[in-house]
Amino acid sequence: MIGGHSVVEAGSNGMEPVRFGLVGYGFGGRWFHAPLLAAAPECAFLGVVTTSAERRELLAREHPGARAFDSLDELAAAGAEAVSISTPAGTHTPLTDQALDLGLAVVCDKPFALDAAAARSSVERAERLGLALSPYQNRRWDSDFRTVRSLVDRGELGTVTRFESRFERFTPDPGPGASGGGTLLDFGAHLVDQALVLLGPVARVYAEWRVRESGLDDDVFVALTHTSGATSHLYGSWSEGAPGDRFRVTGTTGSYVVSGPMDGQEAALIAGQTPATLGAGWGAEPPKRWGRVQRGDQSRTEPTVPGAWSEFYPAFARAVRGEGPLPVEGRDAVASLTVLDAARRSATEGVVVALS
């Protein structure tokens, strides 16, 4: 069994656990959602909506206390209060809206929608119905990004002037990339979200990409000019043989640089580890993966803040119970997709797009 518990137990703060279902048991559902739901005391993992015999068999083996459901309606009828959606990108909006109409709180994987208009429509639906809705921006809790935010909050780099960020992997034939909607949406959803969290709203967008034979975009570069005057240079690729630094954050008094590989929480989950099995060791990065703060010839190692994907679902459950804020606001997805829409136009037309 990959996760901790799968049925109702007492929450860590005495709160009744939120009865949670999952739609989809592909790579994302199996590794990024089910183990974290099952490990969170604030959530009672009921099971997965999937009609695949193979995935039902995996679910029974990996989460023996969880059920397989034929549909969202069946999940809701079984007493679910919330659902996480981890399916191909083109299905996110209709499934989100269907779940909301069934009275379920919703977490939706990235990309939250295919464009800003669809995202806005779902967010407004949730607001009308009084239901919690969050984009699954787990990468806000990456170890290296948490380190960036800590350094900036402490003033270690002065005022940030440029944020360079890369999601680059060497998978020349990514196969399921179509389910993510192409690299701009797949990786860009996280890249842009992190840039907005760190540096705020965007005034101008410029982008370049390469289109594969499949018709999907790859080797994406997006340059953002924030209203503060700072810039973000964002890179996403499935076919980069020599991935660059994960982050280079430049400020008026110094820079922070951290190279790959990326945050280790994904690898830990795939290896069968969870916050329940690792406890306080969850998200910790070995010293060899720590970054450094540089000021010209002066350089020092900066210990990496532990990753904390484990915080998302407990926070969402508390929000459902009215005991705290959402971990990620739905309108944050609208803001990110507004930027990604502009990047798509820029890459297609070769223009700089101004945002009001």
With a cut of 50, say whether residue 90 has pLDDT above it. Answer: yes
Type of residue at 122: S
Pairwise pLDDT comparison (177 vs 240), residue with the higher score? 240
List Cβ neighbours of 116 (8 Å cut-off, separation of 6 or more).
334, 337, 338, 340, 341
Q: What are the CA-CA distances from residue 34 to residues 7, 92, 176 (Å)?
A: 13, 18, 19
pLDDT digits (tens, 9 = 90+) for 135-165: 999 999 999 999 999 999 999 999 999 999 9
List Cβ neighbours of 62 (8 Å cut-off, separation of 6 or more).
1, 2, 3, 30, 34
Q: What is the pLDDT of residue 6?
A: 37
Q: What is the pLDDT of residue 260?
A: 80
pLDDT digits (tens, 9 = 90+) for 17-63: 999 999 999 999 999 999 999 999 999 999 999 999 999 999 999 99
* Residues 97/101/106/110 CA torsion (nearest 10 deg): -10
CATH number corresponding to 18-138+313-330: 3.40.50.720
With a cut of 60, say whether residue 350 has pLDDT above it. Answer: yes
| Buried/exposed 52-80: b ≥16 CB within 10 Å, e otherwise | eeebbebbeebbeebbbbeebeebbeeeb
| CA–CA separation, 58 and 300 (whole Å) | 46
In the chain, where the domains are located = 18-138+313-330, 139-307+337-354
Of the pLDDT bands very low, low, confident and very high (cuts 50, 70, 90), residue 217 is very high
Is the preceding omega at residue 111 within 30 degrees of 0, hence cis?
Answer: yes
Q: What is the pLDDT of residue 261?
A: 82
* pTM score over 0.75: yes
* Helix, strand, or coil (residue 37): helix
Of the pLDDT bands very low, low, confident and very high (cuts 50, 70, 90), residue 178 is low
**Considering the chain, what percentage of its residues have pLDDT values greater than 90?**
89
Q: What is the pLDDT of residue 180?
A: 64
Q: For the chain, how big is the Rg over CA atoms in Å?
A: 20
CATH number corresponding to 139-307+337-354: 3.30.360.10
**Considering the chain, what percentage of its residues have pLDDT values greater than 70?**
94
Please state the rounded mean pLDDT for residues 81-96.
97
| CA–CA separation, 210 and 347 (whole Å) | 9
pLDDT digits (tens, 9 = 90+) for 237-272: 999 999 999 999 999 999 999 998 889 999 999 999
Backbone angles phi, psi at 283, to 5 degrees: 80, -5
Please state the rounded mean pLDDT for residues 188-194.
98
Q: In what order do the strands lie in the sheet with 133-135?
A: 67-69, 43-49, 18-23, 82-85, 105-108, 133-135
Q: What is the pLDDT of residue 179?
A: 56
Of the pLDDT bands very low, low, confident and very high (cuts 50, 70, 90), residue 100 is very high
| CA–CA separation, 259 and 250 (whole Å) | 15
Beta strands 353-354; 217-226: pairing state: unpaired
pLDDT digits (tens, 9 = 90+) for 276-286: 999 999 999 99
Of the pLDDT bands very low, low, confident and very high (cuts 50, 70, 90), residue 106 is very high
With a cut of 70, say whether residue 7 has pLDDT above it. Answer: no
Q: Which of 340, 329, 312, 293 is nearest to 139 (CA)?
A: 312
Of the pLDDT bands very low, low, confident and very high (cuts 50, 70, 90), residue 185 is very high
pLDDT digits (tens, 9 = 90+) for 321-340: 999 999 999 999 999 999 99
Lowest mean pLDDT among 120-124, 174-178, 320-324: 174-178
